[in-house]
Amino acid sequence: MTMRIPLSAPDVTEDEIQAVSEVLRTPHLSLGPKLEEFEEALENYIGVSNAVAVSSGTSALHLSIRALGIVEGDEVIVPSFAFIAVANAVRYERAIPVFADIEPKTLNLDSRSIEDRITYRTKAIIVVHTFGCPADLDAILDIARRHRLQVIEDCCEAIGAEFRGKRVGTFGDVGVFGFYPNKQITTGEGGVVVTDNTAIANSIWRLRNQGRDYSKGWFQHSEVGYNYRLSEINCALGVGQLKRIGQILKRREEIAQIYERHLSGNRHLRLPVLLAPLRKISWFVYAVCLDEQFDEFQRDWIVEEMGRRGIGTGRYFAPIHLQPIYKRQPLSQLCPVTEAIASRTIALPFFNRIEEKEIEEVCEKFTDLVESSTRFCARHQTA
Ligand SMILES: *Cc1c(COP(=O)(O)O)cnc(C)c1O
């Protein structure tokens, strides 16, 4: 269903459309100059020595798992409150995703929960910077150092976010970004792995193109790789988008502030933090949490009623450990904070070109529905 005010919408300029069409007039549609230009621009922006662009954020996660040498039976700690790709990418290599809980303020991995999950089989942690707010990298890197674990930073929702003045993606062994149309910048489909480790970068570089090893002659294959290449068409769009990222992130921060202004008086809502210590947030979505007296049933009713009024909202995220394919988890892996928050969270329309009067309309309809849902539930309980 298309919404009058969608949950998200890409922002592509005429110049970017022009740049994409120009690629189509050249003989280079894949593995050409735009790929190199996009990768170099990403290296400069993120502040890292190697960027290897790939076909999606999920393939970036998968190749990171492969390049870090994670194999069948190894355990990788991941948040359950996240996009399902973080668990799927681990499973592609027959390793085991172990779900850790989050802390309620920033919705990022709780370092105590990470420590609880560590066993002699744990090899790595996938740290997601949820909704663009950097996780507690001090605590997580300290755990990783003490237990000799590798760290994959999933920055798919957080390009441009900073921790202690440094961009995310530069803290872990590798950083992973995605460029699906709902992200801060898009290439249609696309992703990138960044790392300062040249051996890891070379491994990912080979794996994205069938494991081909150029240094040993044209068709020399020493491992089984994939076709995870990103076309020149996508890269041309990415180059254009990355040029505007400063403006884009500024606009998104303004939108978050406007939402905050309109919703902060509502006692039923827990709003995202606008400022977190040591951090610069890169706004991905504006997700609010209903307070403890609400349940999933009321949240879902609000989502449906917003949809009827032409406004797209999202149930971000459904806990991964409750998904049918991941359900058989031992009781020791329960994630109570994730479950409580996921059942009451609702993401509101959030995109660069949303207008202030649209935000006002969203907030008005949303607060009305929140109010009605309290009455409607009270009626059910007394009936
Ligand atoms: C978007 C996203 C990804 C990657 O998604 P793709 O659709 O494969 O590009 C990975 N992890 C998180 C947390 C995401 O939000």
Residue 228: which of 175, 192, 177 has the closest Cα? Answer: 192
Q: Which of 202, 225, 243 is the last residue of a domain?
A: 243
Ligand 1 center from residue 85 Cα (angstroms): 6
Q: What is the pLDDT of residues 105-135, one digit of tens each?
A: 999 999 999 999 999 999 999 999 999 999 9
**Ligand 1 geometric centre to CA of 83 (Å):** 6
Ordered DSSP codes for 125-160? EEEE-GGGPPP-HHHHHHHHHHHT-EEEEE-TT-TT
93 and 22 fall within a common domain:
yes
Residue located via tokens 């755990």: 143
Q: Compute, in angstroms, the gap from residue 178 CA to the centroid of ligand 1.
A: 6
Domain-terminating residue out of 181, 212, 243: 243
* Residue scoring higher pLDDT (304 or 217): 304
Q: In this structure, is residue 8 part of a structural domain?
A: no
Rounded percentage of the chain residues whose pLDDT exceeds 70? 96
Q: Is 316 in the pocket of ligand 1 (CB under 6 A)?
A: no
The 269-270 sheet, strands edge to edge: 269-270, 286-290, 345-348
Across 226-230, average pLDDT: 98
Q: Which two tokens stand for residue 342?
A: 């996921």
**Does residue 114's CB lie within 6 angstroms of at least one atom of ligand 1?**
no
Q: Which pLDDT does position 135 carry in this prediction?
A: 98
Segment 172-181 mean pLDDT: 98
Residues 82 and 58 in one domain: yes
Q: What is the mean pLDDT of residues 43-53?
A: 98
Same domain, 306 and 234: no
Q: Is 56 in the pocket of ligand 1 (CB under 6 A)?
A: yes
132 and 251 inside one domain? no
Q: Kindly report the protein residue whose alpha carbon is nearest to atom 14 of ligand 1.
A: 156
What pLDDT score was predicted for residue 383?
Answer: 43
Q: Ligand 1 pocket, 128 CB below 6 A?
A: yes
Q: Report the nearest-CA residue for atom 4 of ligand 1.
A: 57
Angle 160-164-166 from CA coordinates, rounded to 5° = 40
- Residue 183 falls in the annotated catalytic set: yes
Percent of the chain with pLDDT over 90: 91
pLDDT tens digits, 260-317:
999 999 999 999 999 889 999 999 999 999 999 999 999 999 999 999 999 999 998 8
Closest CA to 175 of 200, 212, 199: 200
Q: How far apart are alpha carbons 158 and 341 in whole angstroms? A: 20
Question: What are 270's strand-pairing partners?
Answer: 289
359 and 210: one domain?
Answer: no
Q: Which range marks the domain in which residue 163 is found?
A: 14-243
Task: Provide the residue type at 137 as one letter.
Answer: L
- Please give the backbone phi and psi of residue 60, each rounded to the nearest 5 degrees, phi first: -65, -40
